[in-house]
Amino acid sequence: MRAPVLNRGRLHRQTVMGIVCAGWMAGACSGDAPPAEDQGSMAEPADAPVAVETANDVDACQLLTAAEIEEVTGQAPGTPESKMLGSDVPACAWPSADGSDPSLVSLLVHFGAAPSTYEEYIEITHGSLDEKFADVLYRHIEGPGDFGVWVGDDRMGSLEVYQDDRMISVTAGSAGGRSAPETSTALAEKALARLQ
């Protein structure tokens, strides 16, 4: 069951965190490969959903397979980089295998109180951003989870999918005739199916 109390500042931080993390993911994958201890696991995710209670139970790199990423984006992913952002936000970034895209896909998972509808999300976000609200493009995305929010335009942005007390943020570019929101939605559906 969803927690009834929402903090406007916290939701704003989640939205900003999704945008910042997408930037971090791009930067994290743009240079040399990280040291071996920072490399994400190359093992394929389990076919069945894995029960998790806290962020520490999640390896974000296990929420998507290389085959799924290639199917959706049309590009084979390289070695994923797994990182814990702060103390409670597991994240993963996949560059393209051929090195042409340093941030082919990025994904992060956040646990905590979340809005239950898109309208509630917009109300809370608008209240926390005030005059800056109009500077950001928000779009309701039907599909995975309770609801989704695309923050950006058709070429670039981040998808936040909310389900119960969890938020998955996926960033993937346009590919194979799909817009960036469509590509990110297809990947979010696959990741959310594993995060139970």
Res 164: pLDDT: 87
- State phi, psi for 6 to the nearest 5 degrees: -115, 140
- Which residues of the chain form beta strands (DSSP E)? 81-85, 89-94, 105-111, 138-141, 147-152, 157-163, 166-172
Sort strands 105-111 and 157-163 into parallel, antiparallel or unpaired: unpaired
For residues 102 and 97, what is the distance between their CA atoms, to the nearest angstrom? 9
Letter for the amino acid at 74?
A: G
Give the predicted TM-score (pTM) of the model: 0.72
Instruction: Measure CA 88 to chain center.
Output: 14
The CA-based dihedral angle spanning residues 93, 52, 69, 143, taken in that order and rounded to the nearest 10 degrees: -110
Res 124: pLDDT: 81
For residues 68 and 47, what is the distance between their CA atoms, to the nearest angstrom? 12
The closest alpha carbon to 148, from 182, 103, 176, 123, belongs to 182
What are the structure tokens assigned to 25, written together?
A: 């993911």
Res 54: pLDDT: 57
Res 176: pLDDT: 78
Query: Would you list the domain boundaries of the chain?
Result: 8-29+63-194
CATH architecture of 8-29+63-194: 3-Layer(aba) Sandwich (3.40)
Tens of each residue's pLDDT in the chain, 196 residues: 333 333 333 343 344 444 434 443 444 333 333 333 333 344 455 454 555 555 567 889 999 999 999 999 999 999 999 998 887 899 999 999 999 999 899 999 988 878 889 989 888 877 666 666 555 688 899 888 999 999 988 778 999 999 988 899 999 988 878 889 999 999 999 999 998 7
Res 125: pLDDT: 78
Answer for the pair 103, 35: CB distance below 8 angstroms, yes or no.
no
Answer for the pair 149, 82: CB distance below 8 angstroms, yes or no.
no
Res 31: pLDDT: 37
Res 50: pLDDT: 52
For residues 137 and 61, what is the distance between their CA atoms, to the nearest angstrom? 28
Instruction: Determine how many CB atoms are found less than 10 A away from the CB of residue 174.
Output: 16
- Residue 159's Cβ-count burial label (10 Å; 0-12, 13-18, 19+) is buried
CA angle 193, 120, 162 (to 5 degrees): 10
